[in-house]
Amino acid sequence: MSNIGNKVVYQVYPKSFKDSNGDGIGDLQGIVEKLPYLSKLGIDYLWINPIFPSPQRDNGYDISDYCAIDPIFGNMRDFEELVAKAADLKIGIMMDMVFNHTSVAHEWFQKALAGDKKYQDYYLLRPKKADGSAPTNWRSKFGGSAWAAFGSGSLDYLHLYDVSQADLNWRNPAVILELEHVLKFWLAKGVKGFRFDVINVVGKDQQLIDDPNAGDGKEMYTDKAIVHNYLQKINQDVFTEHENILTVGELSSTTIENAIAYTKPNRHELSMAFSFHHLKVDYDNGNKWTKIPYDFRQLRQILQQWGEGLSDGDGWPAWFWNNHDQPRAINRFITDPKYHRLGAQMLAATIHLNRGTPYIYMGEEIGMTDPDFQSMKDYVDVESHNAYNALLAQGKTAEEAFAIIKSKSRDNARIPMQWNASNYGGFSTHQPWLANGNYNNINVEKDVKDPNGLFHFYQRLITLRKQESVIVKGDYQAVFNDVPEVIAFTRHYQNQTLLVINHFGEAATSLDLTDKILDGKILLANYPDAKITHHLVIRPYETLAIKY
Ligand code: NOJ
Ligand code: CA
């Protein structure tokens, strides 16, 4: 964990945070304008999704130049201003490094296409099979085959994501050198951290072969031992000269063992890692494009296994409920709007008092919800449209398919930030690139005024992390596993213990506390009249943290 354990990260989806020049797209000056707001919340790092030049096929995750700013967001001077003004407020900027693939519009890919052998070796080009079919049976994570024709010849290039995102060949040392150069470029600009997009799939085997289980190919390229070597090398080459650079890896379909290996301090790979298993508990049979209520027992089991596993193994998790790829957690886990505030607070406490680094996704701190879009025309995301068409092709009616998209689309999280109740929610003076949500009901101006609101609750959670070493350094142990709808854990450090009880349901439930806890002190509660009693009745969506 090193010395970043008391830090909190806030994620900004730059297209949707704040538009400063009235074109309907959020930008860097918009972020600069809102730095005092973020400072008031108390965050330490700001992760910004990709702001590099990009054809925007996958909203910036298709990068065509790693060392420049896309003009839709501003220019390098704006970026330098952002870094400097953020530093004045003790906020470090984190960049999103998409190193598994480049856009096909990137100069490297274009040179490769033009026949330059050096750059052809930057990508994963393979001959088609004798029958003209793709080199392997792997599936793209955005649907369809993971291979597409490379120019007009007999080769295909690998794209684990969109066809416009060509996978890089990390086995070529020149590629790693280029990527290290990118990291050094941004460090020289004063950047304090990096998020590494889908980092655990960058290490493919030399020989790319069919998935024998006729699966999607995932096992053939996920968490290969070589990824750990790559990360150690980059750490050694780039980060040893800099103090306290926060690195977080996005891990696709990983395991507890690997998450530990990527983040255990003495291995010198990453500071922390995101995993996603806890956000797949409303997938029917592992399939995202389904609509079912979430499985509470599964959620509890995953949080506990990962919590205990990483605690015992000295790994360090990055905890989050929301990001730019997920529908809002509040819509998934707290379905009755009556419990909007209590539920949001309980969810926040579950991760902010956990062992690991908490992440807040923009708007979460005021309880933003999924938008109530009425038609596919409102959705922009390439993945949503691909999925909708696939659902229709599988025989779903338009209505069924739409209901699924509505519950799972990544655009749910990507709608404009809700600053106030004025036009376009105060995000812009122009129709935003993606339609607004319910800014009349939920907005920053309103929530910040409410002492019992969400903003103040998040502020309190962040302050507690700064004050209480047990939150930062305590181990993690699951407790009260037999109490229905409750996820509870203790954190223990030196002679202090913190008990955190979170109720994921509406029906009153209860548990019995030991005498030792009765002398404890309530650190945090979302019901103002909470008391410590031997027989503790837990109310709907209650969260209670007791230190003893
Ligand atoms: C994960 C990112 O979070 C997502 O938005 C993106 O589409 C894929 N990686 C591909 O880069
Ligand atoms: Ca703009």
| Closest atom of ligand 1 to CA, residue 162 | 10
Q: Does pLDDT of 243 surpass 90?
A: no
pLDDT in tens, 272-287: 999 999 999 999 999 9
Question: What is the C-alpha separation between 140 and 151, in angstroms, rounded?
Answer: 19
Q: What is the largest CA-CA distance in the chain?
A: 75
pLDDT in tens, 169-207: 999 999 999 999 999 999 999 999 999 999 999 999 989
Residue nearest to atom 2 of ligand 1 (CA): 197
**Both 113 and 130 in a single domain?**
yes
Q: Lowest mean pLDDT of 95-109, 203-217, 503-517, 519-533, name the range.
A: 203-217
Cβ < 6 A, ligand 1 pocket = 58, 61, 98, 161, 197-198, 250, 324-325
Determine what percent of the chain is predicted with pLDDT higher than 90: 96
Question: What is the C-alpha separation between 462 and 44, in angstroms, rounded?
Answer: 10
Name the residue with higher pLDDT: 219 or 324. 324
pLDDT in tens, 436-460: 999 999 999 999 999 999 999 999 9
Hey, what amino acid is at 406?
K
**Both 447 and 334 in a single domain?**
yes
Averaged pLDDT, 410-431: 98
**Both 202 and 289 in a single domain?**
yes
Averaged pLDDT, 252-277: 97
φ, ψ dihedrals at 70, nearest 5°: -65, 130
Q: Is residue 150 part of a domain?
A: yes
**Both 367 and 259 in a single domain?**
no
Averaged pLDDT, 36-40: 98
Determine what percent of the chain is predicted with pLDDT higher than 70: 100
Residue among 97, 161, 167, 408 whose CB has most ligand 1 atoms within 8 A, to mutate? 161
Give residue 2's pLDDT: 53
Find the 543 Cα to ligand 1 centroid distance in Å: 32
Question: What is the C-alpha separation between 354 and 323, in angstroms, rounded?
Answer: 18
Question: What is the C-alpha separation between 274 and 157, in angstroms, rounded?
Answer: 28
For residue 123, the 8-state DSSP code is: B
| Closest atom of ligand 1 to CA, residue 100 | 11
Which two structure tokens, joined as six digits, stand for 470?
């047990």
Cα→Cα distances 250→146, 317, 515, Å: 20, 11, 42
Strand (E) positions, 181-333?
193-196, 246-250, 272-274, 318-319
Instruction: Please name which of 298, 316, 323 lies closest in space to residue 261, comparing C-alpha atoms.
Output: 316
Reduced DSSP (H G I as helix, E B as strand, rest coil) percent helix, strand, coil of the chain, to 5: 35, 15, 45
Question: What is the C-alpha separation between 222 and 249, in angstroms, rounded?
Answer: 13
| Closest atom of ligand 1 to CA, residue 101 | 11
Assess whether 250 carries a catalytic annotation: yes
Averaged pLDDT, 12-39: 98
pLDDT in tens, 144-169: 999 999 999 899 999 999 999 999 99
Residue nearest to atom 3 of ligand 1 (CA): 325
Q: Is residue 179 part of a domain?
A: no
Which two structure tokens, joined as six digits, stand for 131?
């029958």
**Both 153 and 272 in a single domain?**
no
| Closest atom of ligand 1 to CA, residue 62 | 11
**Both 89 and 29 in a single domain?**
yes
H or E, element range at 225: helix 225-234
**Both 72 and 151 in a single domain?**
no
**Both 262 and 391 in a single domain?**
no
Find the 229 Cα to ligand 1 centroid distance in Å: 23
Find the 13 Cα to ligand 2 centroid distance in Å: 13
Q: Is residue 512 part of a domain?
A: yes
| Residues, beta carbon < 5 Å, ion ligand 2 | 19, 21, 23, 25, 27
Residue nearest to atom 11 of ligand 1 (CA): 61
pLDDT in tens, 121-148: 999 999 999 999 999 999 999 889 999 9
CATH of the domain at 112: 3.90.400.10
Q: Does pLDDT of 89 surpass 90?
A: yes
Averaged pLDDT, 206-216: 89
- Assess contact for 247 and 187: CB atoms under 8 A: no
Assess whether 364 carries a catalytic annotation: no
Ligand nearest to the CA of 433: 2
Considering 250, 365, 383, 468, which one is annotated as catalytic? 250
On the 0-12 / 13-18 / 19+ scale of CB atoms within 10 A, 392 is: middle
Ligand nearest to the CA of 11: 1
Q: What angle do CA 319, 320, 323 make, to 5 degrees?
A: 145
Q: Compute the CA torsion angle 38, 330, 406, 197 (nearest 10 deg).
A: 50
Considering 58, 78, 167, 197, which one is annotated as catalytic? 197
| Closest atom of ligand 1 to CA, residue 383 | 7
Ligand nearest to the CA of 428: 2
Q: Is residue 143 part of a domain?
A: yes
Q: Is residue 441 part of a domain?
A: yes
**Both 331 and 449 in a single domain?**
yes
Averaged pLDDT, 403-431: 98
Phi-psi label, residue 22: left if phi above 0, alpha if psi -120 to 50, beta otherwise: left
Instruction: Please name which of 159, 168, 164, 166 lies closest in space to residue 140, comparing C-alpha atoms.
Output: 159
Find the 435 Cα to ligand 2 centroid distance in Å: 15
Domain hosting 288: range is 197-316
Q: Kindly calculate the radius of gyration of the chain based on its CA atoms and give it in whole angstroms.
A: 23
**Both 67 and 6 in a single domain?**
yes
Q: Is residue 523 part of a domain?
A: yes
CATH of the domain at 82: 3.20.20.80
Give residue 1's pLDDT: 45
pLDDT in tens, 292-336: 999 999 999 999 999 999 999 999 999 999 999 999 999 999 989
Find the 71 Cα to ligand 2 centroid distance in Å: 9
pLDDT in tens, 39-48: 999 999 999 9
Find the 197 Cα to ligand 1 centroid distance in Å: 7
Length of the chain: 548
Which two structure tokens, joined as six digits, stand for 93?
């900027």
Using pLDDT thresholds of 50, 70 and 90, give the confidence band for residue 35: very high
Q: Does pLDDT of 112 surpass 70?
A: yes
Residue 143: alpha-carbon gap to chain centroid: 21
Q: Is residue 349 part of a domain?
A: no
* Other C-beta atoms lying within 10 Å of the C-beta of residue 151: 12
Cα→Cα distances 176→107, 150, 233, Å: 16, 22, 9
3-class state of residue 97 by DSSP: strand
For residue 503, the 8-state DSSP code is: E
**Both 408 and 445 in a single domain?**
no
Residue 232, C-beta contacts closer than 8 angstroms, at least 6 positions apart = 267, 268, 269
What pTM did the predictor assign?
0.97
**Both 365 and 449 in a single domain?**
yes
3-class state of residue 30 by DSSP: helix
Ligand nearest to the CA of 416: 2
Instruction: Please name which of 424, 415, 438, 329 lies closest in space to residue 13, comparing C-alpha atoms.
Output: 415
* Other C-beta atoms lying within 10 Å of the C-beta of residue 537: 10
Tokens 């209505």, located at residue: 399
Give residue 4's pLDDT: 85
- Assess contact for 335 and 282: CB atoms under 8 A: no
Number of folded domains in the chain?
A: 5
* Other C-beta atoms lying within 10 Å of the C-beta of residue 20: 18
On the 0-12 / 13-18 / 19+ scale of CB atoms within 10 A, 300 is: buried
Residue nearest to atom 8 of ligand 1 (CA): 61
Using pLDDT thresholds of 50, 70 and 90, give the confidence band for residue 215: confident
Q: Is residue 351 part of a domain?
A: no
- Chain-wide mean pLDDT for the chain? 97
Find the 259 Cα to ligand 1 centroid distance in Å: 19
Residue nearest to atom 5 of ligand 1 (CA): 325
For the range 222-225, what are the long-range contacts, defined as Cβ-Cβ under 8 Å and sequence gap of 24 or more?
222/252, 222/253, 222/254, 223/251, 223/254, 223/255, 223/258
Residue among 98, 102, 251 whose CB has most ligand 1 atoms within 8 A, to mutate? 98
